[in-house]
Amino acid sequence: MIQKKGSCYLAGTIHVRTVSEGKLNVPVDVALLEGVDRGHISVADWLLHMPVLLFYYIWMFILRHLKTDQDSAVQTLKLKNIKYETVDLTMKDLLGRHRGDIAFTIVWYSMIAYIPLCGMRVLVIAIVTLPIIFGYWVIVTQKDRDRVVVDRIAELTQRGMNVLVVRGKMHVKWITKQLIRRGIEYKIISTY
């Protein structure tokens, strides 16, 4: 007997809206959520990647207070008796894979060091560069993070499971390219 392959449904949203707003109307066996594990970051990592980590934690604080975090999505999945798992890399893995990005940290520390000499203008520049550095880092690490998700999608759909992938909108394009390359059926259910 030939086992039927599962399907993949991609929700590229402002993180978790599709699930939490009740727009989940596809047959789903398991949901894959994004979420970088932030545990086990050493002092050396903080020193080497200060601007990235600083802005990352500011960003997470903002998301949590705007209620766009995963809590509401998880509650909805539990109510619908849908299994879910967080599929992503750890922050430690991401920092380890991108050691070359410490050049940004050196430049950033240099700007901070000039504050006593040049005044508040340098502080403003240092603060303004945080999202630029973080944005670059997000783009560079995105494929690493999405590769883990595509591997998990392949594994689950081979077992005949229907998979809902809930990621930010930026992830959809690369994930769909990889799904096509691997011959995995998918449907985009949301990208707002």
Token representation of residue 84: 């879910």
CA distances from 146 to 8, 20, 62, 79, 173 (A): 14, 22, 23, 27, 10
- Please tell me the predicted confidence (pLDDT) of residue 1: 43
CA distances from 150 to 44, 78, 87, 99, 171 (A): 31, 23, 10, 24, 11
- Please tell me the predicted confidence (pLDDT) of residue 24: 67
Question: Is 171 within 8 Å of 142 (Cβ atoms)?
Answer: yes
- Please tell me the predicted confidence (pLDDT) of residue 72: 67
- Phi and psi (nearest 5°) for 123? -60, -45
| Binned average pLDDT, 10 residues per bin, the chain of 192 residues | 71 61 73 79 83 81 66 75 86 78 75 75 77 79 89 93 86 91 87 56
- Please tell me the predicted confidence (pLDDT) of residue 179: 93
- Please tell me the predicted confidence (pLDDT) of residue 55: 81
What span, in angstroms and rounded, lies between the C-alpha atoms of 85 and 148?
13
- Please tell me the predicted confidence (pLDDT) of residue 157: 93
- Kindly report the pTM of this predicted structure: 0.76
Q: 14-37 burial string, b = 16+ CB within 10 Å, else e?
A: ebbbbbbeeebeeebbbbbbbebe
Each domain of the chain, given as residue ranges in start order, spans 8-190
99 residue type, one letter: R
What span, in angstroms and rounded, lies between the C-alpha atoms of 108 and 99?
15
- Please tell me the predicted confidence (pLDDT) of residue 56: 82
What span, in angstroms and rounded, lies between the C-alpha atoms of 175 and 123?
38
Q: 41-52 burial string, b = 16+ CB within 10 Å, else e?
A: beeebeebbbbb
